[in-house]
Chain A
Amino acid sequence: MNRRVLLFIPFVIFVGLFFLFNWGMDQDPTKLELARKDQPVPAFVLPDLHDPSKTLNQEIFKGKVSLLNVWATWCPTCRAEHPYLVRIHETGQVQMVGLDYKDEREAALKWLNDLGNPYDISLSDQEGRFGLDLGVYGAPETYVIDKQGIVRYRHVGAVDDKVWKEILLPMVRKYQKEGV
Protein backbone atom coordinates (compact mmCIF):
# COMPACT_ATOMS: atom_id res chain seq x y z
CA MET A 1 0.00 0.00 0.00
CA ASN A 2 2.81 2.41 0.77
CA ARG A 3 3.95 2.16 -2.86
CA ARG A 4 0.60 3.52 -3.92
CA VAL A 5 1.28 6.61 -1.83
CA LEU A 6 4.33 7.39 -3.98
CA LEU A 7 2.09 7.60 -7.03
CA PHE A 8 0.33 10.55 -5.45
CA ILE A 9 3.50 12.65 -5.51
CA PRO A 10 2.95 14.06 -9.04
CA PHE A 11 -0.63 14.92 -8.13
CA VAL A 12 0.41 16.72 -4.95
CA ILE A 13 3.08 18.70 -6.79
CA PHE A 14 0.53 19.70 -9.36
CA VAL A 15 -1.90 20.89 -6.70
CA GLY A 16 0.89 23.10 -5.34
CA LEU A 17 1.54 24.52 -8.80
CA PHE A 18 -2.15 25.12 -9.25
CA PHE A 19 -2.31 27.32 -6.16
CA LEU A 20 0.78 29.18 -7.28
CA PHE A 21 -0.79 29.90 -10.67
CA ASN A 22 -4.08 30.80 -9.12
CA TRP A 23 -2.30 33.32 -6.93
CA GLY A 24 -0.24 34.54 -9.89
CA MET A 25 -3.39 35.32 -11.86
CA ASP A 26 -4.43 37.84 -9.21
CA GLN A 27 -1.16 39.67 -9.74
CA ASP A 28 -2.04 40.45 -13.33
CA PRO A 29 -1.43 44.18 -13.78
CA THR A 30 -4.61 44.74 -15.75
CA LYS A 31 -6.59 43.48 -12.79
CA LEU A 32 -5.01 45.73 -10.18
CA GLU A 33 -7.47 47.87 -8.34
CA LEU A 34 -7.98 51.33 -9.64
CA ALA A 35 -5.77 53.54 -7.45
CA ARG A 36 -7.94 56.59 -7.98
CA LYS A 37 -11.26 54.92 -7.39
CA ASP A 38 -13.70 57.29 -5.68
CA GLN A 39 -11.10 60.04 -5.61
CA PRO A 40 -11.18 63.23 -7.64
CA VAL A 41 -9.52 63.38 -11.03
CA PRO A 42 -5.95 64.59 -10.39
CA ALA A 43 -5.36 68.25 -11.16
CA PHE A 44 -3.97 68.89 -14.62
CA VAL A 45 -3.35 71.57 -17.18
CA LEU A 46 -3.27 70.14 -20.68
CA PRO A 47 -3.51 71.66 -24.15
CA ASP A 48 -6.59 71.13 -26.29
CA LEU A 49 -5.68 68.67 -29.03
CA HIS A 50 -7.33 70.76 -31.71
CA ASP A 51 -5.93 74.08 -30.49
CA PRO A 52 -2.71 73.68 -28.47
CA SER A 53 -2.73 77.36 -27.50
CA LYS A 54 -5.84 76.69 -25.41
CA THR A 55 -5.39 74.88 -22.11
CA LEU A 56 -7.92 72.83 -20.21
CA ASN A 57 -8.05 71.64 -16.60
CA GLN A 58 -10.07 69.40 -14.29
CA GLU A 59 -12.98 71.89 -14.32
CA ILE A 60 -14.22 70.28 -17.57
CA PHE A 61 -15.54 67.37 -15.55
CA LYS A 62 -17.66 69.50 -13.23
CA GLY A 63 -21.43 69.34 -13.55
CA LYS A 64 -21.65 66.55 -16.11
CA VAL A 65 -21.10 62.82 -16.03
CA SER A 66 -18.24 62.07 -18.43
CA LEU A 67 -16.60 59.15 -20.16
CA LEU A 68 -12.85 59.72 -20.28
CA ASN A 69 -11.37 57.60 -23.05
CA VAL A 70 -7.59 57.13 -23.19
CA TRP A 71 -6.42 56.44 -26.73
CA ALA A 72 -3.50 56.77 -29.13
CA THR A 73 -2.84 56.27 -32.82
CA TRP A 74 -0.20 53.60 -32.04
CA CYS A 75 -2.80 51.46 -30.35
CA PRO A 76 -4.56 48.92 -32.62
CA THR A 77 -7.31 48.18 -30.11
CA CYS A 78 -8.19 51.87 -30.06
CA ARG A 79 -8.85 51.67 -33.77
CA ALA A 80 -11.06 48.69 -33.17
CA GLU A 81 -13.14 50.39 -30.47
CA HIS A 82 -13.36 53.71 -32.28
CA PRO A 83 -16.58 53.03 -34.23
CA TYR A 84 -18.34 52.26 -30.95
CA LEU A 85 -17.21 55.50 -29.41
CA VAL A 86 -18.58 57.34 -32.42
CA ARG A 87 -21.86 55.55 -31.93
CA ILE A 88 -22.02 56.31 -28.21
CA HIS A 89 -21.30 59.93 -29.00
CA GLU A 90 -24.16 60.02 -31.50
CA THR A 91 -26.59 59.00 -28.76
CA GLY A 92 -25.56 62.12 -26.85
CA GLN A 93 -26.13 60.46 -23.49
CA VAL A 94 -22.85 61.42 -21.90
CA GLN A 95 -20.04 63.93 -22.20
CA MET A 96 -17.16 62.26 -24.04
CA VAL A 97 -13.63 63.36 -23.20
CA GLY A 98 -10.71 61.96 -25.20
CA LEU A 99 -7.21 61.79 -23.78
CA ASP A 100 -4.71 61.41 -26.60
CA TYR A 101 -1.97 59.57 -24.73
CA LYS A 102 1.76 59.70 -25.63
CA ASP A 103 1.02 60.43 -29.24
CA GLU A 104 1.87 62.76 -32.09
CA ARG A 105 -0.57 65.59 -32.58
CA GLU A 106 -0.66 65.47 -36.41
CA ALA A 107 -1.29 61.73 -36.49
CA ALA A 108 -4.01 62.11 -33.86
CA LEU A 109 -5.78 64.90 -35.77
CA LYS A 110 -5.64 62.89 -38.98
CA TRP A 111 -7.11 59.90 -37.11
CA LEU A 112 -10.07 61.94 -35.85
CA ASN A 113 -10.54 63.42 -39.29
CA ASP A 114 -10.53 60.03 -41.01
CA LEU A 115 -12.44 57.92 -38.50
CA GLY A 116 -14.78 60.51 -37.04
CA ASN A 117 -14.48 62.51 -33.82
CA PRO A 118 -16.43 60.99 -30.92
CA TYR A 119 -15.13 63.48 -28.35
CA ASP A 120 -16.76 66.64 -27.03
CA ILE A 121 -13.41 67.61 -25.55
CA SER A 122 -10.00 66.35 -26.64
CA LEU A 123 -7.01 66.58 -24.31
CA SER A 124 -3.47 66.06 -25.50
CA ASP A 125 -1.11 64.30 -23.07
CA GLN A 126 2.03 63.88 -25.16
CA GLU A 127 4.34 63.14 -22.26
CA GLY A 128 1.95 60.87 -20.43
CA ARG A 129 2.18 62.80 -17.15
CA PHE A 130 -1.56 63.11 -16.61
CA GLY A 131 -2.01 59.49 -17.66
CA LEU A 132 0.52 58.55 -15.00
CA ASP A 133 -1.22 60.60 -12.32
CA LEU A 134 -4.48 58.97 -13.24
CA GLY A 135 -2.94 55.50 -13.14
CA VAL A 136 -3.26 54.61 -16.82
CA TYR A 137 -1.65 51.25 -17.66
CA GLY A 138 -2.07 51.43 -21.38
CA ALA A 139 -4.47 52.33 -24.10
CA PRO A 140 -7.35 51.98 -24.50
CA GLU A 141 -8.89 52.62 -21.12
CA THR A 142 -12.22 54.25 -20.41
CA TYR A 143 -13.14 55.95 -17.13
CA VAL A 144 -16.54 56.94 -15.80
CA ILE A 145 -16.32 60.27 -14.00
CA ASP A 146 -19.26 61.68 -12.08
CA LYS A 147 -20.58 65.24 -11.83
CA GLN A 148 -18.21 66.13 -9.00
CA GLY A 149 -15.25 65.02 -11.07
CA ILE A 150 -14.74 61.84 -9.06
CA VAL A 151 -13.39 58.76 -10.79
CA ARG A 152 -15.99 56.02 -10.40
CA TYR A 153 -14.94 53.24 -12.70
CA ARG A 154 -12.23 52.17 -15.08
CA HIS A 155 -12.59 49.79 -18.00
CA VAL A 156 -9.35 48.36 -19.40
CA GLY A 157 -9.43 47.33 -23.06
CA ALA A 158 -11.79 48.00 -25.91
CA VAL A 159 -15.30 49.33 -25.39
CA ASP A 160 -17.89 47.42 -27.36
CA ASP A 161 -21.60 47.02 -27.40
CA LYS A 162 -21.65 44.69 -24.43
CA VAL A 163 -19.36 46.82 -22.26
CA TRP A 164 -21.33 49.94 -23.07
CA LYS A 165 -24.80 48.52 -22.55
CA GLU A 166 -24.07 46.33 -19.56
CA ILE A 167 -21.46 48.27 -17.60
CA LEU A 168 -20.84 51.84 -18.68
CA LEU A 169 -24.36 52.99 -19.56
CA PRO A 170 -26.01 51.80 -16.32
CA MET A 171 -23.26 53.51 -14.36
CA VAL A 172 -23.60 56.74 -16.33
CA ARG A 173 -27.36 56.70 -15.72
CA LYS A 174 -26.85 56.11 -12.01
CA TYR A 175 -24.51 59.05 -11.55
CA GLN A 176 -26.62 61.29 -13.79
CA LYS A 177 -29.50 60.82 -11.37
CA GLU A 178 -27.41 62.09 -8.47
CA GLY A 179 -27.63 65.79 -7.80
CA VAL A 180 -24.65 68.09 -8.02
Chain B
Amino acid sequence: MNPKRKQRMLIILFVLGGVGIAIGLALYALSQNINLFYSPSQIAAGEAPKDTLIRVGGMVEEGSVERHKDSLKVQFNVTDFQHTITVRYEGILPDLFREGQGIVAMGRLRDDGTIEAQEVLAKHDEKYMPPEVQRALDKAEAAKAGE
Protein backbone atom coordinates (compact mmCIF):
# COMPACT_ATOMS: atom_id res chain seq x y z
CA MET B 1 0.00 0.00 0.00
CA ASN B 2 1.28 3.43 -0.76
CA PRO B 3 1.57 5.86 2.16
CA LYS B 4 -1.35 7.94 0.92
CA ARG B 5 -3.69 4.98 0.86
CA LYS B 6 -2.41 3.68 4.15
CA GLN B 7 -3.11 7.03 5.70
CA ARG B 8 -6.62 7.14 4.30
CA MET B 9 -7.29 3.59 5.52
CA LEU B 10 -6.07 4.49 9.00
CA ILE B 11 -8.26 7.54 9.15
CA ILE B 12 -11.32 5.67 7.93
CA LEU B 13 -10.74 2.82 10.38
CA PHE B 14 -10.25 5.29 13.18
CA VAL B 15 -13.41 7.21 12.34
CA LEU B 16 -15.55 4.09 11.91
CA GLY B 17 -14.20 2.55 15.11
CA GLY B 18 -14.78 5.72 17.12
CA VAL B 19 -18.24 6.31 15.77
CA GLY B 20 -19.17 2.66 16.29
CA ILE B 21 -18.09 2.76 19.92
CA ALA B 22 -19.92 6.04 20.41
CA ILE B 23 -23.16 4.69 18.94
CA GLY B 24 -22.96 1.51 21.01
CA LEU B 25 -22.34 3.52 24.13
CA ALA B 26 -25.15 5.91 23.34
CA LEU B 27 -27.64 3.11 22.81
CA TYR B 28 -26.56 1.45 26.03
CA ALA B 29 -26.77 4.71 27.97
CA LEU B 30 -30.17 5.45 26.45
CA SER B 31 -31.52 2.02 27.33
CA GLN B 32 -30.42 2.62 30.92
CA ASN B 33 -31.69 6.13 31.24
CA ILE B 34 -34.95 6.59 29.48
CA ASN B 35 -37.80 6.98 31.87
CA LEU B 36 -41.17 5.81 30.72
CA PHE B 37 -44.27 7.65 31.72
CA TYR B 38 -47.24 5.91 33.39
CA SER B 39 -50.58 7.24 34.49
CA PRO B 40 -52.16 6.12 37.77
CA SER B 41 -54.62 4.02 35.74
CA GLN B 42 -51.80 2.22 33.94
CA ILE B 43 -50.13 1.50 37.25
CA ALA B 44 -53.41 0.22 38.71
CA ALA B 45 -53.68 -2.08 35.68
CA GLY B 46 -50.24 -3.45 36.49
CA GLU B 47 -48.55 -2.10 33.39
CA ALA B 48 -45.67 -0.40 35.18
CA PRO B 49 -42.54 -2.34 36.14
CA LYS B 50 -41.58 -2.55 39.81
CA ASP B 51 -38.39 -1.05 41.24
CA THR B 52 -37.53 0.69 37.98
CA LEU B 53 -37.24 4.41 37.60
CA ILE B 54 -40.46 5.63 36.00
CA ARG B 55 -42.39 8.84 35.76
CA VAL B 56 -45.90 9.17 37.11
CA GLY B 57 -48.12 12.12 36.52
CA GLY B 58 -51.52 13.41 37.43
CA MET B 59 -53.29 15.84 39.68
CA VAL B 60 -52.43 16.10 43.35
CA GLU B 61 -55.60 15.04 45.15
CA GLU B 62 -57.15 17.70 47.33
CA GLY B 63 -56.49 17.19 51.03
CA SER B 64 -54.17 14.26 50.51
CA VAL B 65 -50.86 15.90 51.35
CA GLU B 66 -49.53 14.61 54.66
CA ARG B 67 -46.34 15.82 56.22
CA HIS B 68 -44.39 13.79 58.71
CA LYS B 69 -44.20 15.49 62.11
CA ASP B 70 -40.47 15.83 62.52
CA SER B 71 -38.81 15.15 59.22
CA LEU B 72 -39.26 16.31 55.63
CA LYS B 73 -41.04 13.12 54.67
CA VAL B 74 -44.25 13.79 52.83
CA GLN B 75 -46.84 11.72 51.04
CA PHE B 76 -49.67 12.65 48.74
CA ASN B 77 -52.04 11.07 46.26
CA VAL B 78 -51.79 11.55 42.52
CA THR B 79 -54.93 10.90 40.53
CA ASP B 80 -56.22 10.85 36.98
CA PHE B 81 -59.76 10.76 38.43
CA GLN B 82 -60.02 7.09 37.55
CA HIS B 83 -57.35 5.66 39.78
CA THR B 84 -55.20 7.09 42.50
CA ILE B 85 -51.72 6.27 43.60
CA THR B 86 -49.78 7.30 46.69
CA VAL B 87 -46.44 9.01 46.26
CA ARG B 88 -43.89 9.17 49.06
CA TYR B 89 -41.11 11.71 48.99
CA GLU B 90 -38.54 13.16 51.30
CA GLY B 91 -37.30 16.68 50.76
CA ILE B 92 -38.46 20.03 49.53
CA LEU B 93 -41.36 20.22 47.14
CA PRO B 94 -41.20 22.70 44.23
CA ASP B 95 -42.66 26.18 44.66
CA LEU B 96 -45.53 25.43 42.31
CA PHE B 97 -46.53 22.22 44.06
CA ARG B 98 -50.13 22.65 45.21
CA GLU B 99 -53.12 20.46 45.79
CA GLY B 100 -55.16 20.30 42.61
CA GLN B 101 -52.10 21.02 40.51
CA GLY B 102 -50.71 18.73 37.80
CA ILE B 103 -47.32 17.26 38.69
CA VAL B 104 -44.88 14.65 37.49
CA ALA B 105 -43.02 12.47 39.99
CA MET B 106 -39.94 10.48 39.10
CA GLY B 107 -39.52 7.40 41.23
CA ARG B 108 -39.86 3.67 41.70
CA LEU B 109 -42.98 1.57 42.20
CA ARG B 110 -42.62 -0.46 45.39
CA ASP B 111 -44.29 -3.70 46.53
CA ASP B 112 -46.86 -1.89 48.65
CA GLY B 113 -48.10 -0.15 45.50
CA THR B 114 -46.76 3.27 46.39
CA ILE B 115 -44.25 5.32 44.45
CA GLU B 116 -41.04 6.24 46.18
CA ALA B 117 -40.15 9.48 44.44
CA GLN B 118 -36.67 10.88 43.95
CA GLU B 119 -37.91 14.01 42.31
CA VAL B 120 -41.18 15.88 42.09
CA LEU B 121 -41.66 18.31 39.22
CA ALA B 122 -44.25 21.02 38.77
CA LYS B 123 -44.10 23.15 35.69
CA HIS B 124 -42.57 26.60 36.09
CA ASP B 125 -45.31 28.15 34.07
CA GLU B 126 -48.66 27.82 35.78
CA LYS B 127 -50.58 28.31 32.62
CA TYR B 128 -50.30 24.87 31.15
CA MET B 129 -50.20 21.40 32.54
CA PRO B 130 -47.36 19.03 31.74
CA PRO B 131 -48.49 17.55 28.40
CA GLU B 132 -48.14 13.93 29.47
CA VAL B 133 -50.32 14.61 32.50
CA GLN B 134 -52.92 16.17 30.25
CA ARG B 135 -52.86 13.15 27.97
CA ALA B 136 -53.15 10.78 30.91
CA LEU B 137 -56.21 12.70 32.11
CA ASP B 138 -57.70 12.65 28.62
CA LYS B 139 -57.23 8.90 28.40
CA ALA B 140 -58.85 8.36 31.78
CA GLU B 141 -61.71 10.58 30.70
CA ALA B 142 -62.14 8.62 27.47
CA ALA B 143 -62.08 5.35 29.41
CA LYS B 144 -64.78 6.65 31.73
CA ALA B 145 -66.92 7.77 28.81
CA GLY B 146 -66.53 4.37 27.17
CA GLU B 147 -67.68 2.43 30.24
Direct contact between the two chains A and B in their complex (CB within 8 A): yes
Residue of B nearest to A27 (CB): B131
Task: Say yes or no: B134 contacts A77, CB within 8 Å.
Answer: no
Q: B80 → chain A, closest Cβ, in Å?
A: 10
Which of A74, A126, A127, A137 meets B134, CB within 8 Å?
Answer: A137
Task: Say yes or no: A127 contacts B100, CB within 8 Å.
Answer: yes
Residue of B nearest to A126 (CB): B100
Beta-carbon contacts of B118-131 to A below 8 Å, as 1s and 0s? 00000000111101
Q: How far is the CA of A132 from the CA of B128 in the complex (A)?
A: 13
Task: Say yes or no: A102 contacts B100, CB within 8 Å.
Answer: yes
Task: Say yes or no: B100 contacts A137, CB within 8 Å.
Answer: no
B51 contacts chain A at the CB level, 8 A cutoff: no
Chain A neighbourhood of B100, CB < 8 A:
102, 126-128
Task: Say yes or no: A138 contacts B141, CB within 8 Å.
Answer: no
Which of B101, B128, B131, B141 meets A35, CB within 8 Å?
Answer: B141
Chain B neighbourhood of A132, CB < 8 A:
59, 81, 137, 141
Q: How far is the CA of A102 from the CA of B126 in the complex (A)?
A: 11
Chain B neighbourhood of A138, CB < 8 A:
127-129
Chain A neighbourhood of B59, CB < 8 A:
128, 132
Chain A neighbourhood of B131, CB < 8 A:
29
A123 contacts chain B at the CB level, 8 A cutoff: no
A41 contacts chain B at the CB level, 8 A cutoff: no
Beta-carbon contacts of A160-179 to B below 8 Å, as 1s and 0s? 00000000000000000000
Q: How far is the CA of A137 from the CA of B137 in the complex (A)?
A: 11
Which of B81, B101, B127, B138 meets A75, CB within 8 Å?
Answer: B127
Chain B neighbourhood of A133, CB < 8 A:
141
B62 contacts chain A at the CB level, 8 A cutoff: yes
Task: Say yes or no: A35 contacts B138, CB within 8 Å.
Answer: yes
Task: Say yes or no: B134 contacts A75, CB within 8 Å.
Answer: no
Which of A29, A74, A126, A127 meets B128, CB within 8 Å?
Answer: A29
Residue of B nearest to A75 (CB): B127
Beta-carbon contacts of A106-145 to B below 8 Å, as 1s and 0s? 0000000000000000000011100011010111000000
Residue of A nearest to B102 (CB): A128
Q: How far is the CA of A72 from the CA of B100 in the complex (A)?
A: 14
Q: B121 → chain A, closest Cβ, in Å?
A: 17
Q: A128 → chain B, closest Cβ, in Å?
A: 6
Chain B neighbourhood of A35, CB < 8 A:
138, 141-142
Interface residues of B (CB under 8 A from A): 59, 62, 81, 100-101, 126-129, 131, 134-135, 137-138, 141-142
Interface residues of A (CB under 8 A from B): 29-30, 32, 35, 74-75, 77, 102, 126-128, 132-133, 135, 137-139
Q: List 17 A-B contacts (CB under 8 A).
A: A29-B128, A29-B131, A29-B135, A30-B128, A32-B138, A75-B126, A75-B127, A77-B127, A102-B100, A102-B101, A126-B100, A128-B59, A128-B100, A132-B59, A132-B81, A137-B129, A138-B129
